Amino acid sequence: GESVGLHLPTLSVQEGDNSIINCAYSNSASDYFIWYKQESGKGPQFIIDIRSNMDKRQGQRVTVLLNKTVKHLSLQIAATQPGDSAVYFCAENPLGGSQGNLIFGKGTKLSVKP
Amino acid sequence: KAGVTQTPRYLIKTRGQQVTLSCSPISGHRSVSWYQQTPGQGLQFLFEYFSETQRNKGNFPGRFSGRQFSNSRSEMNVSTLELGDSALYLCASSPTDRVYGYTFGSGTRLTVV
């Protein structure tokens, strides 16, 4: 069935290091993917998105990589800061963004050690 | 520019009661979607509304319902509450009928006792 999963439930990194959060998806029809950050007591906050016609997209300190061959998505955070500590979710839209139905992964908790 | 506003922020209800949650989207946004977030199941899609019409529904029992008004504000209702309905209920709005530009509110924390 359709599912989005995360390889690592928790990730601890040193401040200043780069972080990589991974995600697997199973629906080959999905063509739109989003990474969200959720801090305690808040709703998910958009970080970056990518469409399936792209392999890589960069934002400010973040990069998303998409490997359609193995149905894998990753989020790279450069120079991780304490403010990056949060739970990160990947999400896919199996209908190409045409409807508001996102399938979310379980989440990875990122802890940044000062 | 105000974000997505959900009220109330916290709610405690007794099993068997019903509850109504409210969501005010970002001004100009016409699409509203609802999600349930629990530690065990994560974020799960409930339903989506666009221009007062339900366009998509997740795999939840009929006790969960919703609606959207002409000003794009949305409400969701849960009847005959069960302990397992305790969750964070999140609303997201989008300016169009697509998920691009999806913005979430801070949610309503529902506790059923």
Q: Which residue has the higher pLDDT, A100 or B37?
A: B37
pLDDT at B9: 97
The burial class, CB within 10 Å (0-12 / 13-18 / 19+), for A42 is middle
CB distance B105–A99 less than 8 Å? no
Tens of pLDDT, residue by residue over B91-102, are 999 988 777 778
Alpha-carbon distance A14 to nearest alpha carbon in chain B (angstroms)? 26
**Cis before B25 (ω within 30):** no
Please say whether the dihedral angle defined by the alpha carbons of residues A99, A42, A25 and A53, taken in this order, is positive or negative: positive
Instruction: List the single residue in A with minimal CA-CA distance to B58.
Output: A101
Mean pLDDT of A27-48: 92
* CB contacts < 8 A (A, B): 70
Confidence of residue A7 (pLDDT cuts 50, 70, 90): very low
Tens of pLDDT, residue by residue over A57-83, are 999 999 999 999 999 999 999 999 999
Confidence of residue A97 (pLDDT cuts 50, 70, 90): low
